[in-house]
Amino acid sequence: MKLVKTCSIGALLVFWASFALADGALSADQLEFFEKKIRPLLAEHCYECHSSTSKKVKGDLLLDTREGTLKGGENGVVIVPGDPDKSRLIKAVRYTDPDLQMPPKNKKLADSQIADLVAWVKMGVPDPRTNAAPAIVRNSDMEEQIREARKT
Ligand code: HEC
């Protein structure tokens, strides 16, 4: 009986620790940084073409979920956590590569916004967005289609 009790406490601890780890990866500062600087920036300047709400997703890259951001686009990963200089997303917003400039068409971000993205990558890409795995993204696409279909 005692053994059972010890085991279940052990299991509980493991269970708790896995949560603590998943959560603990983000400090309050990192969370605030993401919510204040990164999320609004991505939403305003990138979601138009790189989110589940885009009319057409460009470059096969979804930046509105953590999974999508880390997975990358048609040419592979776009962010190497901790290494901005190896991250194609950073290269793109810096406008140093004539073949990949984001947002496109001379809409280069402000230097401070680029610096925020660089800092974000340096920090290891802290990102609290846990919902919307690709399957759910497709779901919301479907909901959109259903809504559209109901209109007519
Ligand atoms: C007006 C539409 C549009 C906007 C806004 C936009 N992109 Fe793009 N993005 C594209 C297109 C189109 C591609 C495909 C490559 C190309 O044609 O240049 C692309 C490709 C990329 C790629 C390369 C993907 C790969 O695997 O090769 C990255 C990284 C990227 N975009 C990042 C961003 C970021 C970060 C933002 C916001 C700061 C952004 N984009 C905003 C249209 C857009």
Cα gap 71→69, rounded to integer Å: 6
Candidates 18, 64, 41; CA nearest to 117 is 41
What pLDDT score does 124 carry?
95
Q: Ligand 1 mean position to 118 CA, how many Å? A: 17
Q: What is the pLDDT of residue 87?
A: 98
**DSSP secondary structure letters along 12-78:** HHHHHHHHHHHHHTS-HHHHHHIIIIIHHHHHHHTTTTSSTTSSS-STT---SSHHHHHH-BTTB-S
Distance 47 CA to ligand 1 centre (A): 10
| pLDDT value for 146 | 73
Say how many domains are in the chain: 1
Range of the domain at 144: 2-151
How many angstroms does the Cα of residue 88 sit away from the middle of ligand 1? 10
Distance CA 13, CA 90 (A): 40
Question: Which has more pLDDT, 120 or 23?
Answer: 120
pLDDT at 131 over 70: no
Residue whose CA lies nearest to ligand 1 atom number 26: 73
Compute the mean pLDDT over every residue in the chain, rounded to the nearest whole number. 85
**pLDDT tens profile 28-49:** 999 999 999 999 999 999 999 9
Ligand 1 center from residue 24 Cα (angstroms): 31
Is pLDDT of 132 > 70?
no
- Say what the pLDDT of residue 7 is: 61
Q: Is the pTM of this model over 0.85?
A: no
Atom of ligand 1 nearest to the CA of 109: 38
Ligand 1 atom at minimal distance to the Cα of residue 45: 37
> In the chain, what percentage of residues exceed pLDDT 70?
74
Alpha-carbon gap, residue 97 to 90, rounded angstroms: 10
User: Which residues approach ligand 1 with their CB closer than 6 A?
Assistant: 45-46, 48-50, 58-59, 61, 72-75, 78, 88-89, 92-93, 100, 102-104
Q: For residue range 59-95, list pLDDT tens digits in order.
A: 999 999 999 999 999 999 999 999 999 999 999 999 9
